[in-house]
Structures are given as structure tokens and as C-alpha cells.
A and B are shown apart, each in its own frame.
Chain A
Amino acid sequence: MENTRIEFTREMKKEYTILTPNMAPIHFELIKNVLESFGYHIELLRTTGREIVDEGLKYVHNDTCYPALLSIGQLMHALHSGQYDLHKVALIMTQTGGGCRASNYIHLLRKALHKDGLEFIPVISLNLSGLESNSGFKITLPLLRRAIAALTYGDLLMLLKNQTKPYEVEPGASDALVRQWIGKLTGLFEQNKAFTQREVHAYFDDIARSFAQVPQRRVPKVKVGVVGEIYVKYSPLANNGLEDFLFQQGCEVMVPGIVGFMIFKVDNRLEDIRLYGGSQAKKQVCTLLKWYFTKFEADLIAAVKKVPQFTAPSPYAHLKKLAGQVIGYGCKMGEGWLLTAEMMELIENGYENVVCTQPFGCLPNHIVGKGMIRKVKSLYPRANIVPIDYDPSATKVNQENRIKLMLAVAQEDGPAVSAEAVPAGV
């Protein structure tokens, strides 16, 4: 297949709308606003429904992972909606450059466009690996700094919302607070504020305090952690509104954030050098970047810890230590050892019930998800982990049924019966 990539040029930046598939609703909203403050026109797609899946099935190989199918389906659906001038739109797709299929989403998207005779639409690769570049879309240092701040804000808002919403006296109060903060932060970003380390530190405290002030009725709830393939874990479109379902079932939910994943991706390069050898210059850049991310994470944890009612996540370094007990640090494709570590950290942190979400046939998840459950359970006999597959035809009723089963076990296995806990039969 001949392959001439259409670049996103500087001229296009002025008049083109960039259509963006959605993944983590809070984070992406913030990122979108950051990009807009840099002069890009962004349309964050919020479409849902069966049509998205159908479009995906039509344009990508049906055995391709569900995240690719959905994000490409969402983009193609938007292109076919008639709402956009096809000669004035561009598409954007992330590209990690890792050894799993996800690095190929962008190519699958281009193939889809090609099939439809739309190959003139530029597709921007959002990556930090230097895989593809565009003159009209540059990840500059100021942009990167703001984006990192935005992601951390997203992590904090998601975390606090999840810990407040199940207890709120007035339904909707936590969601409203999230919206309020997104608005406020966006305004600040536009004024070039709220992204330096010092400001972030201060705003984190403000955010944590504001959530603490939401009137709440603290009753014991089943605590559920969610880990998994990054898209399925966050995207309600992919996981059939998992967070909301768990809320309805009377649970408190913890979904580990994106910043940890970013640190993980940077740290991988250091691990590669440690395991197989490599250049010192690369090592220094990565060490610096890792240090930068880690500072944000530390601030986030500190801010949450100031409010005793909230559970703060553990720092990356601790997760890495946990993972080291069961899996090698070289295991880096997809979510790699981080996914296993997240399960362990959640269990340690009181979220003993874990939903491990994965697209049907996700290769890394065979290893780090389902493959590691046995070891995790032997370390934490009380762990109650349920792997759930998501794909175009997996039905909600089956998924919910399995989650309900996990919850039934959780309710019965409440703290009172801990004396019964015996080492797992290994």
C-alpha cells in the first residue's frame, strides 16, 4: 500500500478543526482546553452509542483491539455526520511506540480513511517518541508543561470525585464541583497561570479542600479498584459506564491516574538501558523527565493526604517496589508491570476488590492482567479480582453479572470475617 503521509501544516492550524477521540473524560477536557489556549481548534468527541461500534467494525479488522475500533469508529462517525467540512478537519491519535498493537492505531486510522477515499485528511500523531512530526503541530516545552499539569489536575479531580460522589448528600454535587474546577483551571491556563510547580501545589490544596467541603454522609461502602488497558479503564464508551455502574451498586471506586502511566513510560527507557545497555545522554534526559513528573505526583499525594477522609494513592516508586515481587521491570508493553502493581497497590490501600478491564484479545493483558492474578492472590489472599473482557459484542448483562458476583463476595467478606482468611491454595 503506497503511503504518503499528509502533514498537518502551519496554515492548517489556523483554520482546521482537530477532531479528537475521547478517552478519560476529565483529563481530555482539560487537555483540550490547554491545546485551545495554544491556538488549536479542538473538537473533543462525546458521541456514544452503537453507531460508533458499527463504524469501527466497518473500517478496522474485527479482531483488532476494542480501543482502536472505538476511537477510529468515533472519528469515522464524526466524519460521516455531516457536521464538519471534510476539507477543514484533521484527526489526532496517540501513539506510544511500544511493542503492542496500540502503536499502530494511527496507521489503522489512515487505512480506514483510505478505504473511504478520505486520505486527504491529515492525521496527527500525538507521541513523545519522535515517531512522526507535523510542522503545524508542535509539542513545545510550554505546551508540554501545561499538558502535564492538566493531566495531573485530571488525576486529582478524578480521584477526589470518586471518593466524594458515593457519599454526597446532594446528588450531583461532586460532578458539579469537577465541572467548576475544569472551568476555573481553563481560565487560569488561558492567563498563563496554574501550571508552574508552585501554583500547581497551591491549587492542589484548594481542590482537595473544596472536595472535603462537599456535604457528605460517610457510610461504609464496598471499595472497588479499577485497573486495565488504559483506554478501556477510563473510557465510559468502552467499559459501558463502569464507574457509574459501580456507583449505582453502592461502591466507592478508585481508578489509578494517568501520571503514573506517564512516569512508567519514561522509566521504561531507563529500565531498557539498565537491562540491555544504552546511551548515557538518553538516560539523562529520561531521568530528568521522570524527576519532573514525579514532583507533580508527590504534590498530588501530599494534597490528598492533608484531608484525612481521602485515601491518597501511593507514589510510583512504591508501586515499582510492589511489582518487583511478582514481575520483571522489563515487562513494559502496554501497561506492563504497572498494571500488576496497581492491583497490588489498590489491595494494600483497602481496595481489595479489583476489576481488571481489558479489550478481548489484548496481548499484554494476557501477561500482566490475567497472567499475574494467581501470584497477586498468593500474596494477598483477600484479593477479590475479576477480569472483564470488553469487545464489540460482549454484552453489558454478562459483564455486570460478573461484577455483581464479585461484589456479592466482597459484601460477605467484609472486614469482620478477616479471621477466616487463610493463605490461598497455591
Chain B
Amino acid sequence: MRIGLDVGSTTLKCLVYGEDGAPVFQEYERHFSQVPEKASGMLDRIRERFPEAARAGLCISGSAGMGLAEDLGIPFVQEVYATRTAVKKYRPGADVVIELGGEDAKILFLSGAMEVRMNGSCAGGTGAFIDQMATLLGLTPGELDSLARESGRTYSIASRCGVFAKSDIQALLNQGAQKEDIAQSILDAVVNQTIAGLAQGREIEGDVVYLGGPLTFLAGLREAFDRILGVRGVCPENSLYYVAAGAALSPQIKEFDLEELTGKVRHYSSGRRYQSGMALFHDQEEYEEFLRRHEKDRVGTEAPLPEDGVAFVGIDAGSTTVKAVAMNAGQEIIFSRYLPNAGNPVPLVREFLRDLYKRFPHIRVKAAASTGYGEEIIKNAFSLDMGVVETIAHFTAARKFDPQVDFIIDIGGQDIKCFKIKNGAIDNIFLNEACSSGCGSFLQTFAGALGYGMADFAKCGLFAENPVDLGSRCTVFMNSSVKQAQKDGASMENISAGLSVSVVKNALYKVIRVTDAKSLGRHIVVQGGTFLNDAVLRAFEKEIGQYVTRPSVSGLMGAYGAALYAQEKARGEGSSILGPQELEGFTHEVKASTCQGCQNHCRLTINTFANGARYIAGNRCGKPLQKKGAAAQYNLYDYKKQLLESYTPQKGGRGVIGIPMGLNMFELYPFWHTFFTHLGFGVQASPASTRQMYFKGQHTIPSDTVCYPAKLMHGHIEALLEMAPDAIFYPCMSYNVDEHKGDNHYNCPVVAYYPEVLDSNVTALSQVKFIYDYVGIHRPKDFPGKMQGILGKYFPKIPLREIKQAAKAAYAEYGAYMQRVRDKGQEFLRLAKEQKLPVIVLSGRPYHLDPEVNHGIDTLLCQCGAVVVTEDSVSGQVEKFLTGVLNQWTYHARLYAAAKYVVDSGDKRLNLVQLVSFGCGVDAITGDEVRAILEAGGRIYTQIKIDEITNLGAVRIRLRSLFAALGLGE
């Protein structure tokens, strides 16, 4: 008898072969991290079933089984290797195997050169991802799968990281998108992630085999794979047991006495030590003292409503929950709701209002405000009087509990908000944008995975003696840290406490990035549902070394703040909020459509309510809303785009040169366009970036953690290949133009050498003239000679005289282009000054001009009433100065100069927002330095991290908060 045991990240599987080599037993169950108990139970059942087999061969596989196997001397085979062994036996003709597990995703290429790909540091596109997304929709994964079949359209959802996907989905839900469409979009996202993250340029074709839990249980997922890959894959019988089978078939298998071994497994506890931190509470007494201390920060929640019925309503439609509060004129809460947001906040709010009116028939709502992700839709649906940025709502509420509050931290479902308060105004805001590590939803998902509710899970860590040290990073990474801790024998209690601590550490060290936790402030108010867990609160106090205020309504603060805000801003007459009758006739219709306003073709969801109010979402610009901000015409991003578009395609006798419009070409296009047209070449740029274009090229991206602008280049190259110019020109450039603002004038490594990556990974490029030689435009004198040599490799020799003339024209045109940008920038600044408009220097790299990269943040700023200029339009105004870093990149030197310009202007209406592409390593340095320059000048630093995400909700909140903090109106 041969037993193969597969200890996966979430499940345990076994397959037993009888003496004749046929499978005789198999079992599958979730192990909830209790590997020894569950595994020994499984072995017990095998022994019961086959009492005659005293000895049997055993081999273990699976990511969570390694420690167990090593310590007990049981042979271990790597799980992908095991899969392969089994596939060789059962599906010998297979070309590609796609196996998705709880936390792993793998592709095996079997035919041709054997290759194995596993998901690396990223868990997007795995079973855990689907679970997480299903939970968000309030469904089981199975329900999600069947719902997806009814879908009529799909949205693009960032699949790389559960965190991004979540915010995409949240935005879709809040916009009123249909659940079935979202379900299908989630499955598609998993497929896209698998292709982008794992196939990395290799085609998936031929006989494809689907293995593992998600692909076995979810037919819709298999269909999505089939559809997107254009294959007909097979999910074989026993698709869950291939790893176990491979283990059982392994030549390494060893024979054991079954009874003895089962006992050993049962009593196995890893002798390994894991890193641990201090206990949260040493004893009950300490805990009670803690409870007493926090008891005093209370506000009534069941207060009466006086005769006159005057009340104020605040609604916070957050990412995972809807909070709603009604309070009396004395600011006591008379009625409240805290509801999980199962996708659509509208019916929840309607329910709340219905209950409120029923409970207090004599109520006279004087003013009502909404806040949070769903602020707009709720305001429109129920005719509330006003919306308020969530940061302001929270501040308003915190002030009620501690008038001297100087620091607020709110940890909600998937966002962390922190703000410093100075002189009664919000001075600095930290929001987690690209990362939800350390938010409540992680604790919740993890608790769920281990079979607990979140509150119970957090509670069980209160008295844990050695909380696991899980570090402070991405939740996705934390999964594997937890896995490791489990492997090393950490108990549930210690893991729970460890997670509470890491939530806090993430907030402090990742989001706020404090060096000294003690310097946060003296009057700290903590809020958000996550802080209702005593373990998290305690971990926070321990980490910062001081006591904080946790209001009793910690989870309702956004809504309470909105109500307080409504009271503060209320005008004489009553609220326009829907009354009981109107509520009865309330309807909510959602229609999907595609905006024809421009080539972006945004997918819009149009919400129509009974009172005729409409709310449109999904738009990236103001066009479908048909409202134009006063300052919309002062957008330097638009101007730059127009300038670039003026370099139109040209024909020429020497052949047509195709240029991919991405990365540094956003600045150098005028240069190359002029250079080549002067030489008598035709020039053609690839079309504007779109999401579809990205998908077209994604299968050739070798590194899934490179920045989005670089990834887009693969799409541009595909587009150019279709246009079939005579040559594609995209040179490597270590050096950029020297603007004499820094210590050197490099390009960043990605901008410098991305053509090498394209050449290496886009196979079709080898069939065409792809000119990606190393070019130095930083040495204008040497340039023509060197260029002559390069072009001579691809075209008949061009006389040096001609090249010299073309180069001269190119340098001149480049200079003129930059000058036009600077001139226009100055003009906008002057106009802003005259009209007293706020100005944002939206700083990034030239390629942040791409609307597919910046997601229309420039337009958003204009909608907020600001004039937008670029970093390169002001950097020229600043003399070279000493920075705290080695100032060695041309583009980045402009950032420092722009920051300096803002500080030196002394004009409080002039501010800087930095765009940072996710994965940009260089911006870890520039971001800190720009912040240092701005803060030294007493200015607020705002950074917006962008990726393929299209959700502007968080960005909008952030920008509105910034405007609010600056005291600038919308």
C-alpha cells in the first residue's frame, strides 16, 4: 500500500494505492491549520479501512507539509514535482497544466522545454483571492461561480493583488454594477493574473489540464480560462488528488509502521521556534484595568428624541460596512446601524431610514449628510443635503471626544486613515492607497479561513503568551508568514495576537511611516471598527507607548461625524431628505452603458432613482456628467497632450519608422519625430494606450512587479507590429538630457533598458527591424556620428551632413517643445494668481501624461477647481540646489526642483501632488526627498500611487481632503 499525503495551504488530501497499483482510498478536507490533528485523523481512517495493512509506504507533499515531513523523517516531494509525476501517469499527452490552489497558482509547461512557474511573492489569482472576493460580495465561491453565468458584460478588475481588486470591486458595487457582472469579472481577473503572472510570455496551447480546488469546483472559472486562452481544457477525474497521487507514486516513498507513525504525527508539535513578541495582557487584572480606562469615552447611543423631534442624520457608506446615525440636537445618538455592506449600500440605507421613521414618528430631520466611498450615490438616492469628505467627518467626530485631538487614526475594513491636526485644521493626511495591509478585512478574512468570526478570533489572542511576529507588510505576504508560523507550531492564540500586532505595525510603519511611534501626538483618538477589538487597541497602545482615546462608538465615527457636520452646516429650513412616503415609493434602477464622449469609452453605470435623480459612475472625466469646472481649461496635461498630438504621422522616402508611445517617448517624441522627418523618413507613433492594448501585450511581460507604464510598452509594441512600419525605433538610453539640475543625468534603469526586455520577450520583434541600440542624446556633438553608425546597420548609409542637420533640427525642436510647456505653465500660474485659483503641480514623469497611466487624475483635480501644471513646467525656474539624496536622474531632479519651487513661492494656493507608479523603486527615494523638501517649507506632501487600478474613489477622497486641509473650496 502506498499513501500520498498532500498538505496544502488550506486543505489536506490523501490518496492511497493498493498493492495492485489501483487507487483504493481518497479523502479531502480543510485543515484549518491543525495539520497534526487532521493528518493523524486521516491516517486513522485509512487504518480502520485497511486493518490488515500494518505497514505502508508514505510520502508527503504540499507547501504546509515540509516541516512535518522533515521532522518526522518522512520523505517529502515538492508539490509541483508531484503534480508532474501524476500527470505523466494519467494525462501523458498533456502540454500544459494549470493548477490553482488555496494560496498557490502554478503552470507547468510539459511539452517542449519543461518549465514550471509558481506564483512568487504575490497571491493574486489563487483560491484565497476568489474566497476573499466572494466574501466581499456576500457569496460563497460556488454561488459566485454560478452567478457569473448570468453575466452580460465584464469590467476590468486589477487582479495582481487582492487589495486592488477589492477596491475596484468596491467601486463597482458602489456605482451600482450588477453582481453577476462583477462575479464574471472576478473570474476573468483570475485568468488574466495567471497569464500575466505565470505564463510570462509563453503561449498556453495544446492539451491543457486543470487541477486543484478552484478549477475543480468552479465550472465558470474553467470556462473563463477556455474563453480567454482560446483552448478547451480538461479537468480530469480526481483533479484534487494529483499532488497526493504524485507523492504516492514518488520513488522516494518509505515504508512505516502505520500505527506508530500515526501516533507520531498526532503528537507532533514543531520544535522550531518562531519569532515572537510581547504578550498583550499578562493577566485578567491588567485587562480589566484597561477596560475601565476606556469605559469613560462614551456617548449615548439610545438617547431619547425630544418633543420637537429635531434630529440630524449622518450616513457613512464605507468600503465594507454602512454606518448610519441619527442624533438629537444635544448630539446624543438616538438611533444607529452598523451593517456589512453586501455590495449595494442603497437598500441598506433605505432600511435604516424606514426603521428610523418607524421608531420616531415625530422626527423632524433638520439636516443630513453622507460620507465615505458611497457618499455620492447615497446623497443622490436619498436627497441628502450635503456630502462631506470622510476625513473631515472623522475629524468632526473625534473633536467631540477630545477637543484637543492632534492625531486621529481610523482603521476600517480596508482602509487606514490617519491625520495630524494642527491649529484646529487637518494638517497632514495619510491614507493607505496601494495597500490594505493591516486593515480590518484582513483580520476578518483570516478569521474566516480559520473558522472564526472576527471578534472571537481577535479575542482569543488577548492572553496569548508569545504572539507571532509577523512583520509589517502586505496582507498577501502575511498569508505566507502565517503559514510559516503554523509550520513552526504557533498556536491559534499566538497567531491571532500576532495578527493584531501586525495590523498596528502596518498602520504605523507602512502607512504613516513613523520612525518614532511616540511622536505621533499627545491627544490621539483611535476609531474605526477594527479598534473595537481590544487586542488591536492594546497592541496599538503598546506599540506607541501611550494611552489613547477610543470612543465607545468607534465604529460609527464617520457617520456620527457626518451628523455633527450636518448640524454645524444646517441652514434654517428642514432637510431635503426623503420622507416616509417618498421612501415607500423608492426605486433604484441601474443601467450600464458605454460613454461615447471620447476614445476611452468608459463603461458607465447609470443609477436612476424614483425622484428622477440620476447618478452616473464609472466615468474618468466630467464629460458624461456634462458639467465643467471653472478651471477645466487650465490643465497643462491637456496642453502637453495636444502638443504631442501635433506631431502627426508623416510619410517619407526612406521608409517609415514606428515609435512606441510610452515611457520616455512622451518627452522625446518631438525630438525623434523631427530627427527622422528631416532625414526623409516617415514617422508613426503607436496609438494611445488603452486597457485592451495592455491585455494584448501582457503575455510577454517577464516581470510582473515592474511598473505599469513599462508593462504598457508590450501592448504598444504589439500595436506597432500590426501597423507594420519599416522599422520600430525605441533606443536604450542610460543617460538623459543634462538639465544641470542634479549631480548626474541618468534615466532610471527601466526607462533606460526596457527595449532590451522587449527584444528578449516579444518574439515577433526578431522578424522586423527593431532598432534598440544605445543612444546618447546627452552628447549632442557625438550624437550625429554615433547615429550614423546605428542607422547604417538598418538602412543604406546616410551622409553625415544630413544627420547633422537633422540632429540640429531635432535638438532645436525638443528645446522649443519644452519651452512651450514652460511658457504655458507660467501663463497658467499667472492666470491662477489673477483669478485666485488654487494650483496643483501634478508631478511625476513625462509618461504620467498617459491617461491610461494617470487615470484622469489631472481632470479630477480640475473638477475640484484647481489649475493643473506639470513639474517640468516649473522646474526650470529653480536654480540647482543641494538635496539630501544623490540627485542623479534627469526626470527626478525635476521633482525636487518642483517641490522647491512650491516652497519658495510662498503661495499657499500653490501645492504639489506627486504621482508614483506602483513598483517604482526609484520613487521610494524621490518620494521621501520631495516630502522632506515640502515639509521643511511647511507644506503638505501628497502622494498618489497609481497602477492599473481604475478606481478613482480613494484618489478623490484624498484630493478632496487635501483641498479641505488647505482650506480651498471645491
Contact = CB atoms under 8 A, between A and B. Distances in A.
B27 to A, nearest CB: 24
A327 to B, nearest CB: 6
A375 interface: yes
B473 A393 contact: yes
A144 to B, nearest CB: 23
A99 B889 contact: yes
A58 interface: yes
Interface stretch (A78-86, A101-109, A182-190, A217-225): A101-109
Interface stretch (B112-120, B362-370, B442-450, B548-556): B112-120
Contacts of B889: 99
A339 B679 CA distance: 38
Given A276-B776, A276-B786, A277-B782, A362 B921 contact: yes
B202 interface: yes
Given A395-B481, A409-B116, A1 B932 contact: yes
Interface residues of B, number: 90
Contacts of B113: 377, 381, 421-425
A77 B898 CA distance: 35
Interface in A386-413: 387-389, 391-398, 400-402, 404-405, 407-409, 412-413
Give the most central of B66, B785, B933: most A CB within 10 Å.
B66
A393 B471 contact: yes
A296 interface: no
Interface in B902-929: 919, 921-925, 927-929
Contacts of B483: 395, 397
Contacts of A404: 78
A99 B892 CA distance: 12
Contacts of A397: 63, 66, 480, 483-484, 487
Nearest to A408: B81
A360 B757 contact: no
Interface stretch (A37-45, A60-68, A165-173): A60-68
B91 to A, nearest CB: 18
A57 B472 contact: yes
Given A57-B472, A392-B473, A63 B883 contact: no
B238 interface: no
B181 to A, nearest CB: 34
Given A367-B757, A371-B703, A393-B474, A361 B921 contact: yes
A101 B752 contact: no
B886 A405 contact: no
Given A276-B776, A389-B121, A424-B113, A99 B746 contact: yes
B22 interface: no
Given A99-B749, A104-B886, A331-B732, A276 B782 contact: yes
B760 A100 contact: no
Contacts, number: 246
B466 to A, nearest CB: 14
Contact of A364 (B513, B749, B781, B932): B749
Contact of B761 (A374, A393, A413): A374
Interface string B460-472: 0000000001011
A396 to B, nearest CB: 7
A238 interface: no
Contact of A101 (B111, B703, B924): B924
A251 interface: no
B275 interface: yes
Contact of A61 (B469, B702, B786, B927): B927
A277 B786 contact: yes
B705 A360 contact: yes
A415 B772 CA distance: 38
A53 interface: yes
A69 to B, nearest CB: 10
B111 A425 contact: yes
Given A50-B275, A405-B81, A371 B515 contact: no
A116 interface: yes
A153 B77 CA distance: 39
A361 B484 CA distance: 23
Contact of A374 (B63, B201, B888, B924): B201
Given A3-B883, A57-B509, A363-B750, A101 B760 contact: no
A328 B730 CA distance: 14
Q: Which of A272, A367, A373, A396 has the most CB of B within 10 A?
A: A367
A141 interface: no
A161 interface: no
A352 to B, nearest CB: 12
Nearest to B474: A393
Given A361-B705, A422-B112, A402 B118 contact: yes
- The bracket for how many chain A residues form the interface is 35 or more
A422 B110 CA distance: 12
A326 interface: yes
Contact of B750 (A3, A367, A412): A367
B756 A1 contact: no
A122 to B, nearest CB: 16
B515 A330 contact: no
A220 to B, nearest CB: 17
Given A328-B773, A389-B120, A397-B484, A425 B109 contact: yes
A360 B922 contact: no
Nearest to A132: B886
A363 B760 contact: no
A366 interface: yes
Contacts of B746: 99, 333
Interface in B921-966: 921-925, 927-929, 932-933, 936
Interface in B173-209: 200-203
B884 A111 contact: yes
A373 B700 CA distance: 12
Contacts of B509: 57-58, 62
B702 A371 contact: yes
B752 A99 contact: yes
A1 B884 contact: yes
A404 B79 CA distance: 10
B309 to A, nearest CB: 52
A299 B86 CA distance: 50
Interface string A259-282: 000000000000010011110000
B924 to A, nearest CB: 4
Given A331-B756, A409-B114, A425-B111, A107 B886 contact: yes
A426 interface: yes
A99 B473 contact: no
B401 interface: no
A276 B786 CA distance: 7
Nearest to A421: B113
Given A61-B513, A62-B510, A333-B734, A366 B78 contact: no
* 10 residue pairs, one from A and one from B, having the closest CB atoms: A277-B782, A276-B776, A330-B774, A425-B112, A99-B746, A393-B473, A1-B884, A424-B113, A408-B81, A371-B757
Interface of A: 1-3, 50, 53, 57-59, 61-65, 95, 97, 99-101, 103-104, 106-108, 110-111, 114-116, 131, 272, 275-278, 326-334, 360-368, 370-375, 377, 381, 387-389, 391-398, 400-402, 404-405, 407-409, 412-413, 421-426
19 contacts: A57-B471, A65-B924, A97-B744, A99-B752, A101-B924, A104-B885, A275-B774, A276-B786, A277-B776, A328-B732, A330-B774, A331-B753, A362-B921, A363-B749, A389-B121, A391-B473, A395-B477, A395-B481, A398-B63
Interface of B: 63, 66, 77-78, 80-81, 109, 111-116, 118, 120-121, 200-203, 275, 469, 471-474, 477-478, 480-481, 483-484, 487, 509-510, 513, 515-516, 702-703, 705-706, 710, 732, 734-735, 744, 746-750, 752-754, 756-757, 760-761, 763, 772-776, 778-779, 781-782, 785-786, 882-886, 888-889, 919, 921-925, 927-929, 932-933, 936
Given A389-B120, A395-B481, 16 more contacts: A2-B936, A50-B275, A64-B921, A99-B734, A99-B747, A101-B924, A277-B786, A329-B774, A331-B756, A392-B471, A401-B78, A405-B80, A408-B81, A409-B81, A421-B113, A425-B113
